Amino acid sequence: KAGVTQTPRYLIKTRGQQVTLSCSPISGHRSVSWYQQTPGQGLQFLFEYFSETQRNKGNFPGRFSGRQFSNSRSEMNVSTLELGDSALYLCASSSGLAGGGNEQFFGPGTRLTVL
């Protein structure tokens, strides 16, 4: 089975711009979660999608948004970029079955640099 894929792998943007990141989960997985990883804060949960519905989210400002398509692919958007948004953005896929504690498998990440 192919793993989780994320595009693009690297991005450089300037403050005030917006960015869209994409994630394709493992075939058959219907849940996609997004994380921001920085050296200071570690891995922080952004949100989780299942069957095109956001089921949970973390404590990030509204500039961070996401969506999921009917084929389970997901996109994350960050508007009005700030320097502090520079990070590795990871997505993780899981079966998303009831119970809420399924094993997640991570993609390679998108490295975002905001200048």
Partner 1 sequence: QKEVEQNSGPLSVPEGAIASLNCTYSDRGSQSFFWYRQYSGKSPELIMFIYSNGDKEDGRFTAQLNKASQYVSLLIRDSQPSDSATYLCAVTPEPYKYIFGTGTRLKVLA
Q: Residue 35: count other Cβ atoms within 10 Å of its Cβ.
A: 21
User: How far apart are the C-alpha atoms of 92 and 39, rounded to whole Å?
Assistant: 19
The answer to whether 28 contacts partner 1 (rule: CB under 8 A) is no
The residue to which tokens 């792998």 are assigned = 9
Smallest gap from residue 80 Cβ to partner 1 (A): 25
Stretch that binds partner 1, among 7-15, 20-28, 53-61, 68-76 (CB under 8 A): 53-61
DSSP-derived secondary structure for 89-107: EEEEEE---TTS----EE-
Q: Which is nearer to partner 1, 12 or 16 (CB)?
A: 12
Q: How far is CA 42 from CA 33, 39, 45, 52, 103, in A?
A: 16, 6, 10, 27, 19
Q: Which is nearer to partner 1, 81 or 96 (CB)?
A: 96
Decide if residue 22 touches partner 1 (CB under 8 A).
Answer: no
15 forms part of the interface with partner 1 (CB under 8 A): no
111/108 Cα distance (integer angstroms): 9
> Does the footprint of partner 1 cover residue 13 (CB under 8 A)?
no
Q: Among 7-15, 20-28, 42-50, 64-72, which window interacts with partner 1 (CB under 8 A)? A: 42-50
Amino acid at 32: V
* Binding region for partner 1 (CB under 8 A): 31, 33, 35, 41-45, 48, 50, 55-58, 90, 92, 96, 99-109
